[in-house]
Amino acid sequence: MYETWQHVFKLDPNKTLTFKQLDAVCQSNTDAIIIGGTDGVTLEDTLELMTYVRKYNKPCLLEVSTMEALMPGFDYYGVPMVLNSQEKKWMMDLQHEAVKDSIDLLDRDRILAEGYVIMNPKAKAYQLTNCFLPTNDDVVAYAEMAETLFRLPFFYLEYSGTYGDVDLLKKVSERLDHTQLIYGGGIKSIDQAREMAQYADTIVVGNSLYDHFDEALKTANITKE
């Protein structure tokens, strides 16, 4: 099911949209909703957002960035593994903890690893996970690792907060046959969404929902208009 997602909105439990805006997001042409954020993510806020979104028939993935907000009720659970982190914790240890604590709670078919490469040094997630900035060749090699060594379901080229390098995305896309390529970062318009969707299997739109809602909402129509 997640294999067919072309467009996804990412909602941050630590940020606010009006109910009217949330209704519009859930009724849009987007293929799915990801719930996740880097900081201030609480059980209460996540539960509230999930309950609201669940009124609609959109697939919903919880990105497990903190164990505190892990709960049943989602279609999928994305477990980030930050490939360009300089600390093993963000690649292995938190994931180990998540699996250990949730193994009896969640259906194992719903747990999906996301191999992240975070490319924006100003992004909170980049700083939190102590990333280094890889070269383009490094990124391509990480994609190869995701596909060939780890056989991850997702490779996530993450520019959170800034619009990324479409040429690099294209290069990465040429290396991935089985691993699903996700692009996220700085998409504010349908033209940008379409540009990245040429190469990414799935594009993610997050921040612009909170900054330029109407334009952001239109990005869900990449294949429709």
The footprint of ligand 1GP (CB under 6 A) covers 10, 158, 160-161, 184-187, 204-208
Please identify, using beta-carbon distances, which residue of 70 and 200 lies nearer to ligand 1GP. 200
Flag whether 184 is marked binding.
Answer: no
94: left (phi over 0), alpha (psi -120 to 50) or beta: alpha
Flag whether 36 is marked binding.
Answer: no
Flag whether 156 is marked binding.
Answer: yes
- Backbone φ, ψ for residue 35 (5° rounding): -110, 120
Q: State how far the Cα of 158 lies from the Cα of 116, in Å rounded to an integer.
A: 7
Flag whether 114 is marked binding.
Answer: no
- Quote the least distance from Cβ 179 to ligand 1GP, whole Å: 17
Please identify, using beta-carbon distances, which residue of 46 and 207 lies nearer to ligand 1GP. 207
Give the N- to C-terminal CA distance of the chain in Å, as an integer.
23
Q: State how far the Cα of 206 lies from the Cα of 109, in Å rounded to an integer.
A: 26
Please identify, using beta-carbon distances, which residue of 95 and 107 lies nearer to ligand 1GP. 95
Please identify, using beta-carbon distances, which residue of 181 and 187 lies nearer to ligand 1GP. 187
Q: State how far the Cα of 44 lies from the Cα of 13, in Å rounded to an integer.
A: 9
Beta bridge partners of 154: 114, 180
- Quote the least distance from Cβ 35 to ligand 1GP, whole Å: 11
Q: State how far the Cα of 147 lies from the Cα of 155, in Å rounded to an integer.
A: 8
Flag whether 10 is marked binding.
Answer: yes
- Binding-site residues, in ranges, read 10, 12, 38, 156-161, 186, 206-207
- Binding-site residues for Mg(2+), in ranges, read 12, 38
